[in-house]
Structure 1
Amino acid sequence: MSSRISILSLSTLVLAAAIFVGITLVRPLFARRSVAANVMTIRSFAALAKSSGAFARQQSQSAAQNNSGAKQSQSDSKSAGKSSPAQTPAASGSIEKRVEDFLRKWYAWGPDFQVKVGPVKPSPAGDLNEVSVEVSAQGGSDTAVVYVTKDGHYMLRGDLQDLNGDPLGETMRKLNLQGAASKGPADAKIVLVEFGDLECPSCRQLDYVLRSVLPKYPQVRFIFKDFPLETIHPWAMSAAITGRCVLQQGSDQFWKYHDSVYDNQDLISPENAYNKLLEFAVQAGATEEKLKPCIADPKTQELVRQSMAEGHALDVTSTPTTFVDGRRVVGPDQALLEQYIQFDSAH
């Protein structure tokens, strides 16, 4: 298909793999870890698999020894008047097993982690197979896709990019901006979308960054999407639900509530969350009589979960994750945010 990305050749791919070495920032995992630690390790794998674009070279020394052994075997066979084909890496075991063994060792996934690899299917790039990986442990799971050369020798952790398409258009098409909290001109040239969690300390840092950045760029429209991390933040869902109800009463009220929750994160606990969040909502200008039935309505939580599903579809695994006209920024990175804003302002 002409719109699909084309990879030059397997030899070029192998050469690239020899040049670019895989990068790992994942901490070693011990046999017993907290639920939160297990969840974050899984997210680290998923994020790296989806964004690193680095080649993982599997045991190059061992491969060299195998090649040397194969040559010696062929030499011996010739001297004996016989021939025996050299064994390819894939012949020593299924691709699924090789991928699982490699990832388990790479990320120190012990018996507490369940890893499902496969199916293996052709990718848009002819020299690569696409292999799905699902990993789960206590309290969380995630999926990612890796790519393996057809001889089973090399694995690519990253995205295949279609050079014939718009690199940002697909992301923007997946973003549903209707009904979300927003501020800035509706016809803004630049759209900044945050998937955030009101209990998340890093999201609070980003909020403080945006309070200084956004006034400098009036051509930016900022949109906040709910993405509460329920497994590690016990009152984040309650904060998101209350925020949805405040938004129904007005955008100005929502942003006052939004900032108040971040400013007072340290005062909120699972035990007092309902009352504290209600207090901040009323202080922001929302009426308590309308808030309480809205908070209790299951449809409100469903709206939050729809926002979360949208984030999952965009491979959001941590907060804050921000998209500047489709470009992903993870964390409160002011320099990168301004770089993207300034670039789009000039083009």
Structure 2
Amino acid sequence: MKRAHILSTALAPFLGAALLASAQAPAAPAPAPAQTSPAQTAVPGQATQGNRPKLELQTLDPSNHPDPFPPVNQKYFTASTPTVATVDSFLKALWGYDPDRIWRVEAIQTTQAPGVSKVVVYVSDKKPNAKVSAASFFVLPDGKHAIADASGIISFGATPFADTRKTLEEHADGAHRGAAGKGLLLVEFADLQCPHCKEAQPTMDRLAQDFPNAQIVFQNFPIADIHPYAFKAAAYGYCVTKQKNDAFFAYAAEVFDKQAALTPATGDQTLKDAVTKAGLDPAAIDACASTAETKNAVQASVKLAEDIGVQQTPMLAINGRLLPLTSNLPYETLKTIVSYQAVQDGVSTGAAPLRQTPTLAH
């Protein structure tokens, strides 16, 4: 469920929360670098391939896959920061899970705002006759944040998810399952009255099965202005977790199953029935849920979500990398992203190795 604005399609390639957008989707035109002679295309600090900048994540046969991008013109690199290497690392962190995606940094320019740089990137893929799209974003003076159109401020840098990962390791305190360690930490931000969150639960169950080394946390993010019973459901869930961690998942499953009954007439009894289903005393949980301590804890969970940029539910943080669990996200793509992030962070997923198809001897 959306909490605020809808993320722009044109910005999707730059946001951890919208990695599913096609690199071939039309994007706002960027200032196209002028065609230059080979001697003019070199950019300081940019790796070169012959007389052209390297295409990231590319191993192309030039006869079948010619370079789709225009040559780089050095006059469009007027800012000293960020470096091309930093931008490439940032984009690799976002897009590296897709071996077919290629890009080139075409401009890093100063702007009228002191310390703010504009970055222009051209994107395509290895498919025949693939289109090239262009997009831009602005890197702020701290070098750790960027602005991508209406989507607001996003994390930026060679390791853009590191700070969020650390924050969640320290402060994500919801009910958890799976591994004891936090090397691979999957934090689901969800609202118990959110229909899309209900739909996402089978996906979370599959992740728990497919990634034994992952610790999976359910972090309450009730959107009370849309779902009147969400906050109380979260408060009950907090008290259930406090009394018995594993009982929360039975409680949550029952609440999701009975979402239609979360009405003024039947909502309170529905939550109590869910507590009973989880094997706990509903009277004790109800008393706990009404305390200031519990309400403050739920508010703290909401603030944690807002502080790291969560704007909709359900949202999954994969070692700090935010990704919405939308219906158009294929599970195999999600698995690929989780596996890729684990590799980037140097942690094991515990997933079973793929079976190798036997080959016949010649």
- Whether TM-score is above 0.5 comes out as yes
What corresponds to 2:306 in structure 1? 312
Could you say if the C-alpha distance between residues 284 and 48 of structure 1 is closer, same or farther in structure 2, counting changes exceeding 3 Å? farther
Residue 26 of structure 1 corresponds to none
- After superposition, where does 1:109-258 map in structure 2 within 5 Å? 122=113, 124-126=115-117, 147=138, 157=149, 162-163=156-157, 165-175=158-168, 176-177=170-171, 179-258=173-252
Give the fraction of aligned pairs with identical amino acids, expressed as a percent. Answer: 23
1:148 deviates by 10
**1:182-212 Cα deviation digits (max 9, x unpaired):** 1112214311001100011111111121223
Does the 8 Å contact 1:294/1:300 carry over to 2? yes
- The offset of 1:256, in angstroms, is 0.8
**How far off is 1:166 after superposition?**
2.0
Structure-2 residue corresponding to 1:335:
332
Q: What displacement does 1:237 show?
A: 0.9
CA contact 1:56–1:156 (8 Å) conserved in 2: no
Q: Cα 1:178–1:320, aligned 2, differ >3 Å: closer, same or farther?
A: closer
Cα distance in 1, alignment partners of residues 275 and 234 from structure 2: 12
Q: 1:235 to 1:156 in 2, by over 3 A?
A: closer
Change (3 A) 1:171 1:123: farther
- Which consecutive residues of structure 1, in runs of 5 or more, have no partner in the other structure? 1-35, 59-119, 129-145, 150-154
Q: CA RMSD in A?
A: 3.5
Per-residue deviation, residues 209-244 of structure 1 (Å, max 9, x unmatched) = 122331122111100111111111111111101111
CA pair 171-336 structure 1, distance change in 2 beyond 3 A: farther
Specify the alignment match of 1:298 in structure 2. Answer: 292
Which of the numbers 241, 261, 282 marks the counterpart of 1:267? 261
Confirm whether residue 43 of structure 1 aligns to residue 5 of structure 2: yes
Query: Counterpart of 2:239 in structure 1: which amino acid?
Result: C
Tell me if structure 2 keeps the 8 A contact 1:238–1:273: no
AA aligned to 2:162 is G
State the partner residue of 1:321.
315
Q: What code does the residue aligned with 1:44 have? A: I
Structure 2 CA distance for aligned equivalents of residues 315 and 123 of structure 1: 25
**Does the C-alpha gap of structure 1 residues 238 and 57 become closer, same or farther in structure 2, counting only changes over 3 Å?**
same
Cα distance in 2 for residues equivalent to 1:266 and 1:251: 25
**Higher CA-based Rg:** 1
Q: Compute the displacement of 1:46 (Å).
A: 8.4
Q: Which residue does the alignment assign to 1:95?
A: none
Q: Distance in 2 between matches of 1:123 and 1:267?
A: 54
| Deviation, structure 1 residue 180 | 1.9
Structure 1 residues 213-222 or 264-273, which shifts more?
Answer: 264-273
What is the letter of the counterpart of residue 212 of structure 1? R
The TM-score with structure 1 as length reference comes to 0.56
Change (3 A) 1:317 1:160: closer
Where in structure 2 are there 5+ consecutive unaligned residues? Answer: 16-25, 31-110, 120-136, 141-146, 347-362
Distance 1:48 1:320, change over 3 A: farther
Secondary structure in structure 1 of the residue aligned to 2:322: strand
How many correspondences in the alignment? Answer: 227
Is the contact between residue 175 and residue 246 of structure 2 (CA under 8 Å) also seen in structure 1?
no
Once the two structures are superposed, what CA deviation does each residue of 1:239-275 show, in whole Å capped at 9, x if it has no partner? 1011111111101211110111112222332321111
Measured in 2, the distance between the counterparts of 1:311 and 1:211 equals 22
Give the match's secondary structure for 1:251.
coil
Deviation at 1:315? 1.4
Q: Specify which structure has the higher proportion of helix.
A: 1
Residues 339 and 267 of structure 1, relative CA distance in 2, 3 Å threshold: same
Equivalent residue letter for 1:339: T
Matched AA of 1:171: T
Q: Secondary structure at the match of 1:43?
A: coil
Q: How does 1:81-92 map to 2 (within 5 A)?
A: none
Distance of aligned partners of 1:127 and 1:236 in 2 relative to their CA distance in 1, 3 Å threshold: closer
For residues 45 and 209 of structure 1, what CA distance do their matches in structure 2 show? Answer: 22
**Distance in 2 of aligned mates of 1:55 and 1:292:** 51
Contact 1:268 1:276 (8 Å CA) reproduced: yes
After superposition, the C-alpha distances for 1:309-337 in whole angstroms (9 at most, x for unaligned) are 11111111110011111111112433343
Q: TM (normalized to structure 2)?
A: 0.54
Matched letter for residue 262 of structure 1: F
Please tell me the residue identity of whatever aligns with 2:263. Answer: S
Question: Is the contact made by 1:177 and 1:223 (CA closer than 8 Å) also made in structure 2?
Answer: no
